[in-house]
Structure 1
Amino acid sequence: MRVTVLGSGTSHGVPVIGCDCAVCTSPDPKNKRLRPSIVVATDSGENLLVDTPPEMRIALLANPMSRLDAILYTHSHADHIFGLDDIRVFNYRQTKAIPIYAETSVLDDIQRIYEYIFKMTPVGGGKPQVELHTLTPAEGLTLGGLSVLPLRVFHGRLPILAYKFGAKFAYVTDVSAIPEETWPHLMDLDLLMLDAVRREPHETHFHLDAALEVVAKLRPKRTLLTHLSHDYDHCATNAQLPDGVELAFDGQTIELSSL
């Protein structure tokens, strides 16, 4: 499988509106961060998208793909769902609805926020065509020949989902606590993508030191930190991180075994 980072930033994105700090004004493209999302391309050629942030169109122009086969949602905060309308082009191209997978509460939010999708309205320029599928933590499914396991984590007090793809890759964003039952599923991965929103402690996210403590316990071969604020200059921070740990960046691709 191939993992592509569509966005590695926080809910504000980087640069932050109106900020003139060294990172927000940096010419380094790796310091430009869209809101967080990844796409996983399976060995059979299907594309599994995790979350639809507001810059979805921009992210997919920068990282083109000809088809979209499923969307998996972590939770329903604005920076993770407000690009859903941009999937319409895939409906036109594929002439079918796209399955959405999420917990019941997230599907309820999507139906409320995107009410026009689910009721009779003038079509106009078109609207997304989707099929809703309910996920339960620790109950796996197979998409495009790839095993996908939703896992419970907590975003502050909010229960949300992380995802494990195949046996050796997990995407864990917007997380401040990992419950006991989830830890075994995250041990000894080839690749872990993990939230590390900033350097100082945060109520609803891991900060850098907390994320590094998790990495030390889980022992992945490689870790990419994501959901990154303008606290982090890409090159300077990478030079300070432990071996095997680095900052993710928009447009980054990683090839992994699906087994």
Structure 2
Amino acid sequence: MKVTFLGTGTSQGVPVIGCECNVCKSLDFRDKRFRSSVHLQIGKLSLVIDTGPDFRSQILRAGITTLDAVLFTHEHKDHTAGLDDIRPFNFKQQKDMPVFGKLQVLEQIKREFAYIFSGKRYPGIPQVETIEIDEKPFTIEGITITPIPVLHYKLPIFGFRIGDFTYITDANYISDESLKLIEGTEILVLNALQKDPHISHFTLDEAVAMAQKIGAKETYFTHISHRLGLQDAIDQELPQGIALAYDGLQLTLD
């Protein structure tokens, strides 16, 4: 499995429009963050988790030429707004794009992208196959994917575990039952928004504590705000085995 971080930023991305802070003005490429998304290449299977507003630019930058399915963690716009840009994959692959999400996510997508699902289908619109998932594991082309229920304030959302890789974003609570599903993970991705308390995201300290509780060999933080600080400075503060992810980072799992 090869994991590529397409985006590691929060809902506004980094830099934030109009902001003059040292993070937004940083010349370090790692401090430039598209909205959170990740690409997984598992043998011949190509998957994306979330299609935010930067999806087109992310796919072009990463050089991704095939895509077999999209998984959605939840329905917020910074995770779904780029769905229209699956069209080139429709044209190239000559098939509908399977889109996996819980019922509330698929219903929201059908409202926001009503033209995709209209009875009067305009030529050239995205072609999607919506597939409802719940808390039970499911498979895509023989690959097992386990949803990890977590809370984003009061909103139930999914992380996903695939083999020894677990991806959780937009969370501020993980139940004991969900922690059992994560046990044994070698690489964990977890959100760490900022240092100050937040109503719906783990802070840096909370994310570190959760990562140490889970005990993965390697943990990478994502969904990062400009308020967290500079990549280089924060990495030096983190315990061994924990680091900030950055756009373009690639990981390989055997």
TM-score, structure 2 length as denominator? Answer: 0.97
- Aligned residue among 240, 247, 251 for 2:248: 251
CA separation in 2, counterparts of 1:53 and 1:158? 18
Q: What is the identity, as a one-letter code, of the residue corresponding to 2:35?
A: R
CA separation in 1, counterparts of 2:141 and 2:188? 21
**5 Å matches for 1:96-135?**
96-121=95-120, 123-124=122-123, 126-135=124-133
Q: What is the identity, as a one-letter code, of the residue corresponding to 1:127?
A: I
Aligned to 1:180: 176
Q: Post-superposition shift, 1:239?
A: 1.0
Q: Post-superposition shift, 1:201?
A: 1.1
Tell me the alpha carbon deviations over residues 147-167 of structure 1, each in whole angstroms, 9 at most, x when there is no partner: 21111100000000000011x
TM-score, structure 1 length as denominator? Answer: 0.95
Structure 2 residue 210 is the aligned partner of structure 1 residue 214: yes
Aligned to 2:36: 36
CA separation in 2, counterparts of 1:146 and 1:233? 37
Aligned to 1:68: 67
Tell me the alpha carbon deviations over residues 112-137 of structure 1, each in whole angstroms, 9 at most, x when there is no partner: 1100000134625x111010111111
CA separation in 2, counterparts of 1:53 and 1:9? 11
CA separation in 2, counterparts of 1:128 and 1:32? 29
Can you give the 5+ residue segments of structure 2 that lack an aligned partner in the other structure?
none
SS in 2 for 1:60: helix
Does the 8 Å CA contact 1:71/1:101 hold for their aligned counterparts? Answer: yes
Tell me the alpha carbon deviations over residues 222-254 of structure 1, each in whole angstroms, 9 at most, x when there is no partner: 000000011221111111110000000001110
Tell me the alpha carbon deviations over residues 21-49 of structure 1, each in whole angstroms, 9 at most, x when there is no partner: 11100111100000000011112x11111
SS in 2 for 1:153: strand
Q: What is the identity, as a one-letter code, of the residue corresponding to 1:22?
A: N
Tell me the alpha carbon deviations over residues 58-84 of structure 1, each in whole angstroms, 9 at most, x when there is no partner: 111110111110000000001000000
Q: What is the identity, as a one-letter code, of the residue corresponding to 1:211?
A: A
CA separation in 2, counterparts of 1:144 and 1:252? 26
Structure 2 residue 8 is the aligned partner of structure 1 residue 8: yes
CA separation in 1, counterparts of 2:141 and 2:20? 44
- Aligned residue among 235, 238, 248 for 1:241: 238
Aligned to 2:94: 95
CA separation in 1, counterparts of 2:218 and 2:141? 25
Structure 2 residue 226 is the aligned partner of structure 1 residue 227: no
Q: What is the identity, as a one-letter code, of the residue corresponding to 1:158?
A: L
Can you give the 5+ residue segments of structure 1 that lack an aligned partner in the other structure?
none
CA separation in 2, counterparts of 1:118 and 1:244? 45
C-alpha RMSD of the superposition: 1.0
Tell me how many residue pairs correspond in the alignment. 253
CA separation in 1, counterparts of 2:28 and 2:140? 36
Does the 8 Å CA contact 1:188/1:221 hold for their aligned counterparts? Answer: no
Aligned to 1:79: 78
Aligned to 2:137: 140
Aligned to 1:54: 53
Q: What is the identity, as a one-letter code, of the residue corresponding to 1:164?
A: R
Q: What is the identity, as a one-letter code, of the residue corresponding to 1:246?
A: A
Does the 8 Å CA contact 1:42/1:144 hold for their aligned counterparts? Answer: no
